[in-house]
Every structure is written in C-alpha cells, then in structure tokens.
Amino acid sequence: MAAEWSVLLLTCQPGGCVSAFQQELEARRLRGGLGPRPPPLLLAVEDPWARLGSGGATLNALLVAAEHLSARAGCTVVSSDVLREARILILHMGRDFSFDDCGRAFTCLPVEEPGAPAEAVVCNLDSLLATMTHRLCVGSPPGVWICSTDMLLTVPSAPGIDWDGFQGVRVIAVPGSQAYARNHGVYLADEQGLVRNIIYKGTEAQIQQCAGPDGTVPLVCGVVFFSSDAAEQLLATHVIPPLDACTYMGLDSGAPPIQLSLFFDIVLCMAGGMTEEEFVKGGGDTSVRSARSVLWTALRAFPLSMACIPGASYDYMTTSASDHIRSLTLLPGSASHLHFCKTAHSHVDQQPCLLEDGSSVTNCLLEGAVRLAAGSVMQHCHLQGPLEIGPGCLLSGLSASSSPALQGCPLRDVVLQGHHIRLRDLSCRVFTLTGRLDDWQRPAEEATYLNMPWAEFFHRTGVREGDLWDAEMPRSSRCLLNARLFPVLHACEALGLEDVLWLLAPVAVAGEWLARWRAAWRMSWEELLPCLDKAAELGARRALFFLQGQRKVRRVLLGRQDCSLLPLARSAVHEGYHEAVLSTLDEVASTAGDAGIAARALACIAEVLGCMARGEGGLRSGPAANREWALAFGRLESGDVAGGVRELAAERQKWMSRPALLVRAARHYEGAEQILVRQAVMSSCQFVTVAQAELPPLGCWVQVACPARLDLSGGWSDTPPITYEHGGAVVDVAVLVDGCRPIGARVRRIGEPELRLVSLGGMPQGEAAVELVCRELEHLRDYCQPHAPGALLKAAFICTQVVQFPSQKPLQAQLMESFGGGFEVHTWSKLPHGSGLGTSSILAGAVMASLYRAAGKAASTESLIHAVLHLEQRLTTGGGWQDQVGGLVPGIKIGRSKAQLPLRVEVEKIPVPSGFTQTLNDHLLLVYTGKTRLARNLLQDVVRNWYARLPSAVQNADALVSNAEECAQALRQGNLPLIGKCLDRYWQQKKCMAPGCEPLAVGRMMDALRPYVHGQCLAGAGGGGFLYVLTKAPRQKEALHQILAKTQGLGNFSIHSIEVDTGGFSVEVVGCDPKDGSHPREDVAV
C-alpha cells in the first residue's frame, strides 16, 4: 500500500532557486519516485521571508495548497472545504547546510535502488518521500502531514499507528537515548499517549521524566499530522494579524515579517500541560506573543497525541563534519528501506579495491588509481589518479581539472568542496577547505581551523587576523563562519583548487602562495551562502550522473554484466540526456567486435527509443522491414557491423519527431538486433559435420519419423541470446503420442530438375494440403519469411547446401549437375498448430535428416541439433535448441549450453531406475487445451526483457537452470512427487518469463486437476497447446476426462496417452516405383 497525495509541497528559502526545486519534483514524478499514483499537484514553494521559521513556512504552504485545490475545484476564492478529503504532504527544506550546497533535502546518500523504474541518485528527500508514502502515512485519514528534511529517518515497514477514532493533531516520535536527547527535543506524554509538553535541550531530570519503561525517550523527529479539521482551523489564521505576515499574501500586503516555529509556536499550544498564560508569554517578542494568542484560540481544543514508533531511528544532520561523514559511511538501521553501498552510481575506472571498506563514493567518476581510505566520503567528483585521500575526508563537487592540484597533496581529516557561485550576472567556481573537527561558529580564540588552533594556522601560513576579519569586528564574534578565507576572483589570474590547498602546506611552501591569496578577492562561508547557485549545482550533478552513466553503459555491455540499463535509459529520456546515451550505445555496438555485445547494444537503443515515445505510438512489437532501413540491414547481414550501426544511426534521425515514428524505429532496431543474434547463433555451424554416404536410387524415398518432446524443466534458457549469454539447461523427454511418432518427412530424388514441396495432412498417407513447385532460385527467395508457403522446406534445401543460394548458377543447372534431377519432399504432423510439443523444430530436423540422406550425405544427431539451430536462424523464427534435442535424441535427457560463443549444445542421457520408464508412461498424460498459442509474440517479449536485464528475468533464468538440474536428479532417483514439484515450479517460472501465457480456461483446467496430480505444466512456451500432467495414481485417462467434463468453461479439450520413446527417430530408405506419384511401399525397408 501507499499513501495517495492530493498535493505535495516542498518549501525552500527565498533566493531564486524555487524553479530548480520544482524541476527536481517533476523529475521524481517522471521517474516514478512519488508512488504508483503521483500527486496531481507538485509545488515548490518559496518562503515569503528569509527567516520565516518552520511554523510560518507551514502556514504559507498550507495556504498555497488550499489556493491551488480551490482553483482546481472551480472556486474563485480560497475555500477551506477543499481540505476535507485532501491528503497533503508538506516537506520543509529548512536552513542552509555546510556540507551540501542544495541543503539537507538534496544531500545524496550512498544508495542504489536496483528495483527502481528509473535510475537516479538517492537524496535524503527521496528517502523521506519513500518513508512517508510507503510506511509512515499509510492508513492515515485525510489531512496534512508536515515533515522536516533536516534528518535521516528510518521507520519499520509496519509502523503500527492506530488511526481508529483519531481526532486533532498527532506528532510522530522515535525512541532515543537520554544522552542523545540532551541536545534535541523530547515529548512528555501521559499513559494515553497525549502530549503534555515539548522539552528542548532539557535538564537531566526533565528528560528522565519523559522516559519509558525501557529507559528510552520519545524524540521529536520533525513529523506531525493535522487532521482536516485542525488544518482548516490553522488555515483560517492566515488572515489574522500578525499571522498574515507568514504568507506570501502578507508579504504582498506589506505586513512586517514574523518568525514562528512549527513545534514551539503552533503544536505546543495543544499540549495538555500548557496554560494559556505560560504559552503566550513564552513568545520572544510582541508579535510572536500576539501570534501565539491567536493560535491558542484557534487550536487549543484539538487533542495532541503522540505515536512513538518502535524500531524507528532519527539522526539529525548537524553541522559537524565528523557526524556527517559517519552518517554516510555507516549502514542504516535494519528497519530502513535503504541499503548503503560503498560505491553508488559511480564509475571507478581501475582497481575498485583501492576504495577501502568504510569509505563511500556517490555520483563520481574516478579515472586511474584513486585510493580512498576508510572513513572518507566522496560525492559529485570527477577525478583522475593517481590520487590518495586519507581517512576522515569529505570531498564534493570537484571536477577533473582539479586532479593535478590534488596529486601529491596529502589529505587527511579535511572537507574540500567545489561550489557554483553566482555574483549577479557572473558565474564562477569557488573552493572551500575546512577541517573535520572545526566548528563553524565557535569564537576563533577557542576554536580550530584545519583541525589546528587558529594561532598555529597563522604561524604556519603567514596569514594574519586582519586578512580574515575587519578590525572593527569584536574578537568574540570572529569565527570560521565569517572568516574571509576563500578566494573568489583575482585581477590577473584564474583561480583553482590550489588556491585553497596551499593553506595545508608547511610554511616554506605557503610563502609562495600567500601573496597571490592576499591579492584575490575573498569571501567567507557566511557571505558565500546567499550566492550559492543551486540550479547550477543540481545541473552539474545531473551532468556528472549521466557522464558516469555512459561509462556504466560501456562497462555493463563490454563486460557482459547482468545489469539492467533500462532504468538508466528512462532517466536519460526524462532528463534530456538520451542523445548522449544513444551516442554511447552506437559507439559500443560499432566497436565491440562481438555480435552478441553489439546485438544487446542495439536492443538498448530500441529501449531508449521506446522510452522516448512515452507510452504512445503503438505496441513495441511489430513489423521491421521498411525499405528505408534496408541499407543498414544489408550492411549488418554482410558482416559490416560498424557500417550498419552508422547507417542505423543516420536513419534513426529521420524517425525522432513523434511517438509513432519512434516506436517504428525501435522495432527496426530490434530487427537489426535479431540479425546479429542470428549471426551469433550461426556460429554453431562449426559443430555440423556431414559425411558422404551412398546416394539412394532415383525414386527411392528416405523417410524419417520423429517423436514429439515434453520439456520437463529449463525451457526458455535454451533461447538465444539467453542460451549463450547466461547458459541453458533443459530436461526433455521424447514421447510417442497415442502410440505413434507424430512428426515426419520423406524425400526422394526425381528426374525433373525441380523441387516439389508437399505438406500432407496429419498422416504420411494423407492428402496434400499444400503443394509447391520451385523451378527457379527466385522461387526460394522468401525462405526467410516464416509465414511464406514452404519457407521451412526452402530453408532446409539452402542450409543443407543441397541448393546454393544466392548463386549465379540457375536452380535447374545446380540440380542436374549434382544430383541428375530434382527432389520431392513430403512432411506431416499429427499435432495441431501451436501444440507446444516442439513440432516445427522437430519437423525441421526430420526434413534435414531425410534430405541429407536423399542427397547422399550423412549427419550425426549432434550435427542435426546444430543444423536445426542454423536453419531456424536463417528462417528468422529465432528458436532455441530444446525442441530438436527433445525429438531427435531418444528417451530422457538433459541438454546444456554454456554462456559462450560459439554456441554448442551438449546432451546427457539421464539414467533412470529399472522399470521407471514404464512408471512414467503410466503417470504421464497429455491434455489438449483447445487453445492455440502464439509463441512468436511471447518470444519477442522474453528476448526484450532479457536484453533489458530486468532483475526478474535474470533471477528467473538462474532458477530455470537450477530447476532443470534438480529435475534431472529427481528422474535419476525415480522420485515422482519431486518431479511433480519441479513441473509446478517450472510452470511458475514460465509465467514469470512470459506473463500472459496462462489463458483463463487453462487456469481453470489446472485448478480442477490439481488434487489429482503431482505436477502439471503447459508444454513449450505456454499460452495454449498441450498441458501435460503427472498423475498421482497410474492410468488416469478416463478419470481425468470425467473431471474435466464436469468443469465449466473449458471448451474443446481432449486427453491423449503418451509414452517415453526410447528408440528415437527412425530413418528408412524404402523402395518405390520411380513413376509412382507419392506413396512409398513401407514394407520394402532397406
């Protein structure tokens, strides 16, 4: 479950950055980071005043939300009625943060989320949004949630808040130690959970009074919920002076500014232990006391309850560098939804082992040898080694141009940051350097700079107090915050990182830089803060993220890693970096020198184009033979991958203008990818060996009859490219259906130099259903179009090299020279189309076996298996190898392929206990579902998901192979129940691989049979065809028929007996009168 927000607001300080934060919110909506149903209103709201306080910011944000909701409701004035059913989330950015120019909300965490729909760095804002949306606020009534972003918050997945009968306002607390509470706020609550008081930095006795039985205290964590009634009353105060000054309307009306705290000026008035006099007099000045009086009148009647969340934790983001580094290098609590990692969204060029455990690298590109010690953090840096960063350091915002200054400079316990600064119309980069132990606001006389007393720093560098502070500034006011340490501009020279790094140097070196430093115009951190260009900083982080993302693309593809690039593609499209990613993919595809890698790169380009269509433009699957792409396809077919990729990219530019064209371009990229997959699979040709054999007499038939196959586990792992990128294993059984081998072919030589292609009905003696005669090579041209008449037979002639195509020599000349005539081929299958029993591949094997023999050649079973792989690639049906293994190799076996090219299939026969084959025969049944499957559509989706490396697809491929090995072991043991479990598991794996492969009627059929079977599965890809079942009792054909006959909504089903074929396919040369038209005399076997 997830909370569904009506409005989400992010408040920020004034200063011209509100549009950048609005863009960040919109980016999260596009990335899917705001829940399954993102709020219709996303608003970045600028505080009217610089020091408005969390209370004033809340009232202003509530007014903005109500105003927008009122406008959407068609109102012409603000109406509090719109709050009745609204669910509003207000996030406060709060004050500036020393260690992140964009504030605590946008402080990046060392986290990657592999399951996220779009890839992006994870900020504290994202963590809090996930916590609020998916955990803390689930089940709450309509109202207003307010959350600070100045803390790291961890909440269990089920916080256990009881909302029954809730009224008023509720604060959220987390348990903490009494020691931690001394510097923070705690709630004093009664046994009913009603808040009596809020104590900030209380005495030991006051804190002890708040403790529970376990000794922990409920910490104020910056989260509060107002019911709709309470929110209406709070909103009503925005027109009453002096509270009107908290809103932008007050600013526009000329009201004097006022500063209010959410907890101590608004929430506290509802605490049961407060009196009106005590509350009002607690205000700082007259205007605050007046505001408190108004708030008391408006809100006092509402009960203030507390929910303290067991197992939750809260970590305030202080101005201590030590605390900040610790929070980014330690793992979060077990209740967290976050998983910290050493490198997050970063490319480490060489030797990742140089990053010690306990260090943290986020959104960085590190080239060369960069060593980072434990206890150090690096964020948003592009650096080039060799570099060595010691412990206790925080480096942020450093570009590659900073690397020379860092080389050979020992860093230890320092904070080194690069900042984007805007001085009116001038943009520049400024670097700041401080010590990990420095305190920003402690008076200089008792404080440190670069972890040493100021006096020692002055002595080491030659810097004087007068360089940093004006003479009229009182000594007690002088501190690091207002020390003009950091060079911004120089009259003659460009400034760089070295202009602050010299402050670390010993006195002998420092002297060379002191004059240059004094000549520069310098600013203090206090002066720099208002000049920070947050929009430029966010833009730079985004650019670096996609730069390292491009390196990731190369790394993943060239390293053949099972890592999905689809989330990165989505982000690139959302944020306008798709051209950079497309360019990188073009480069990888054209230079990889590997058909498999290039194919995956083209598939990734198709995904980017699909993302650019943003769900419009039609289905991803569709035709891919537009003539405009023919030149590019031709280059790929000829083996010129680099040239083909260039032509594809040039053609792509013409198809980028609207969604429909983008989708069609994506289809053509998938078509191009399939060309390369075919070339990769056709590497299996080297395992096809053909020997010479006696040429049968003219007119003598060579007849091959084959069993069907049942795939007991592992199917889909044999499908290219999965089979050669992941490795495959499939357990198959060759079976007779209703006592016969249902698939066959026969070939004979004839006197006429032509090819007669005849498709019979379901029997060798059946009437011809389709008959073709090919007399010219042109008649074979459509061999690669699977739905063209006779395409499989035409492809078989070409792949067996009985016919050379293309060729300058005419077909009739070829046939007469090599064979003294032509060929006649008959094929048949007793199985319905789309049966799932491997018909087409086994039929291809039967045709090739008979054709080889009729042409005076002989091929082993292993050669036939690989020859069928080759044929199906030429035919462009893109099949795997399990069907021909199942139908051409007798009995029970497991086929395997390794994750490598060339693709080679190895088959191991599975020995079973004595008598177990008959046991299987007694317990296996086939049920024809009456549904025809469309495996082609399923195959396109499976290959697309595999190339996208969706985590579910990768995990399922692992599971398919391991289940196949387990099934093989169960067969060796003769363990029917365990085999049944493997079948059931296999069916779940098929459904994961190809969602939608279980029609409703099939689901009903399987439900009806479940009590009577050890396991069951649809044969092949699923979607229809045959269901095979392993019954608990033997010989259950009639019993199952009766069960299904009583089941509603099944349609035309039929039940068939099957038995293991231990003999395998047969090849016979039979005599025949050459003048006889079609039928062999089957009793004259040779």
DSSP string, 922-979: HHEEEEE-S----HHHHHHHHHHHHHTT-HHHHHHHHHHHHHHHHHHHHHHHT-HHHH
Terminal Cα distance for the chain, rounded: 71
Q: What pLDDT shows up at residue 525?
A: 97
Q: What is the dihedral of CA 193, 199, 202, 205, to 10 degrees?
A: -30
Cβ contacts of 733 within 8 Å, gap of 6 or more: 709, 710, 712, 886, 891, 892, 893, 920, 1060
Question: Is the predicted pLDDT of residue 1077 greater than 80, yes or no?
Answer: no
Q: What is the dihedral of CA 452, 453, 456, 462, to 10 degrees?
A: 90
CA 218 and chain centroid, separation: 38
* Tokens 């020379």, residue located: 404
Q: What pLDDT shows up at residue 650?
A: 97
Cα 880 to Cα 838: distance, rounded to the nearest angstrom: 10
* Tokens 């317990």, residue located: 923
Question: Is the predicted pLDDT of residue 936 greater than 60, yes or no?
Answer: no
Cβ contacts of 645 within 8 Å, gap of 6 or more: 586, 589, 590, 598, 602, 632
Q: What pLDDT shows up at residue 333?
A: 62
* Tokens 């708030």, residue located: 295
- Residue 1080: pLDDT band by 50, 70, 90 thresholds? very low
Question: Is the predicted pLDDT of residue 1086 greater than 60, yes or no?
Answer: no
Residue 535 sits at φ, ψ, to 5 deg, of: -65, -45
Amino acid at 710: L
Task: Record the tokens describing residue 950, joined without a space.
Answer: 């969706």
Cis peptide before 310 (omega within 30 of 0): no
Provide mean pLDDT across the span 830-835: 86
**Least confident among 598-602, 744-748, 893-897, 939-943:** 939-943
- For 764-797, the pLDDT digits (tens) are 766 667 799 999 999 999 998 888 999 999 999 9
Provide mean pLDDT across the span 473-481: 95
- For 308-352, the pLDDT digits (tens) are 999 999 899 999 999 999 999 876 665 666 788 899 999 998 666
Q: What pLDDT shows up at residue 33?
A: 81
Q: What pLDDT shows up at residue 1052?
A: 85
- For 121-160, the pLDDT digits (tens) are 999 999 999 999 999 999 999 999 999 999 999 999 999 9
Question: Is the predicted pLDDT of residue 530 greater than 80, yes or no?
Answer: yes
Q: What pLDDT shows up at residue 995?
A: 86
Question: Is the predicted pLDDT of residue 935 greater than 50, yes or no?
Answer: no
What is the pLDDT of the chain when averaged over all its residues? 92
Cα 999 to Cα 1008: distance, rounded to the nearest angstrom: 14
Amino acid at 571: S
* Partners of 100 in the β-ladder: 97
Which range is most confident: 46-50, 255-259, 918-922? 918-922
Task: Record the tokens describing residue 563, joined without a space.
Answer: 């890592």
- For the chain, give percent helix, strand, coil, nearest 5: 40, 20, 35
Cα 489 to Cα 41: distance, rounded to the nearest angstrom: 42
Nearest to 80 by CA among 65, 90, 92: 65
Q: What pLDDT shows up at residue 940?
A: 83
- For 382-404, the pLDDT digits (tens) are 999 899 999 999 999 999 999 99
Q: What pLDDT shows up at residue 1082?
A: 33
Q: Is residue 786 a contact partner of residue 878, using CB atoms and an 8 Å limit?
A: no
Q: Is residue 7 a contact partner of residue 88, using CB atoms and an 8 Å limit?
A: yes
**Least confident among 86-100, 276-290, 556-570:** 276-290
Residue 422 sits at φ, ψ, to 5 deg, of: -120, 120
CA 414 and chain centroid, separation: 36
Q: What pLDDT shows up at residue 884?
A: 96
Q: Is 838 helix (H, G, I), strand (E, B) or coil?
A: coil
Cα 580 to Cα 584: distance, rounded to the nearest angstrom: 6
- For 1022-1035, the pLDDT digits (tens) are 878 899 999 999 99
* Tokens 């003294």, residue located: 820
Which phi-psi region, left, alpha or beta, contains residue 593 (left: φ > 0; alpha: ψ -120 to 50)?
left
Q: DSSP string spanning 540-595?
A: HHHHHHHHHHHHHHHHHHHTT-----HHHHHHHHHTT-HHHHHHHHHHHHHHS--H
**CA pseudo-torsion sign 615, 617, 619, 622:** negative
Cα 676 to Cα 698: distance, rounded to the nearest angstrom: 40
Question: Is the predicted pLDDT of residue 36 greater than 80, yes or no?
Answer: no
Compute the half-sphere exposure of residue 523: CA atoms within 13 Å on the CB side of its CA.
Answer: 19
Cα 817 to Cα 588: distance, rounded to the nearest angstrom: 47
- Residue 1051: pLDDT band by 50, 70, 90 thresholds? confident
Q: What pLDDT shows up at residue 762?
A: 67
Look at 895 and 331; give whichever has higher pLDDT: 895
**What is the β-pairing status of strands 387-389 and 394-396?**
unpaired
CA 754 and chain centroid, separation: 55
Q: What pLDDT shows up at residue 1064?
A: 84
State the pTM of this model. Answer: 0.89
Q: What pLDDT shows up at residue 1?
A: 77
* Partners of 829 in the β-ladder: 743
Task: Record the tokens describing residue 806, joined without a space.
Answer: 């293309």
Task: Record the tokens describing residue 459, joined without a space.
Answer: 């002595």
Q: Is residue 537 a contact partner of residue 545, using CB atoms and an 8 Å limit?
A: no
Q: Is residue 769 a contact partner of residue 759, using CB atoms and an 8 Å limit?
A: yes
- Per DSSP, the chain holds a count of helices (H) and strands (E) of 35, 44
